[in-house]
Amino acid sequence: MTCKWCGLEKVSEFKGEIAIHFPGQNGLERLVLMVSPNLCVCLNCGNAEFAVSKRELQVLATGGTAVTRG
C-alpha cells in the first residue's frame, strides 16, 4: 500500500485502541468513545489512518447521546 502523504510503499496495518474525546469544556463531562480500528501506519513518515464503524460514527454525530440499534 502506498502512503497518501509521502508516496512510499511502507504502510503496515496494526490493531489499535483509540479513545475519542468530545471537544470543548462540555466534552469533559461526556463519556469517552473507545474504538478498536485497524490502523494503517506509514513506517516512513508516521502518517496513520483508520475508519470509524457506522455505529461509532452515529455516536460521534449525535454528540454522545444514546443511539438505538438498527
Q: What are 10-46's pLDDT values in tens digits? A: 999 999 999 999 988 887 888 899 999 999 999 999 9
* pLDDT attached to residue 70: 46
Note whether residue 3 is domain-resident.
no
* pLDDT attached to residue 65: 64
Give mean pLDDT, residues 42-62: 95
Which residues, listed in sequence order, are joined to residue 46 by a DSSP beta bridge?
Answer: none
Note whether residue 6 is domain-resident.
no
| 66 pLDDT higher than 70 | no
Give mean pLDDT, residues 44-64: 93
Note whether residue 50 is domain-resident.
yes
Strand duo 33-35 + 18-20: pairing: antiparallel
Note whether residue 5 is domain-resident.
no
Q: Which amino acid is at 52?
A: V
User: What is the number of structural domains in the chain?
Assistant: 1
Note whether residue 20 is domain-resident.
yes
| 6 pLDDT higher than 60 | yes
Note whether residue 30 is domain-resident.
yes
Domain extent at residue 23 = 11-61
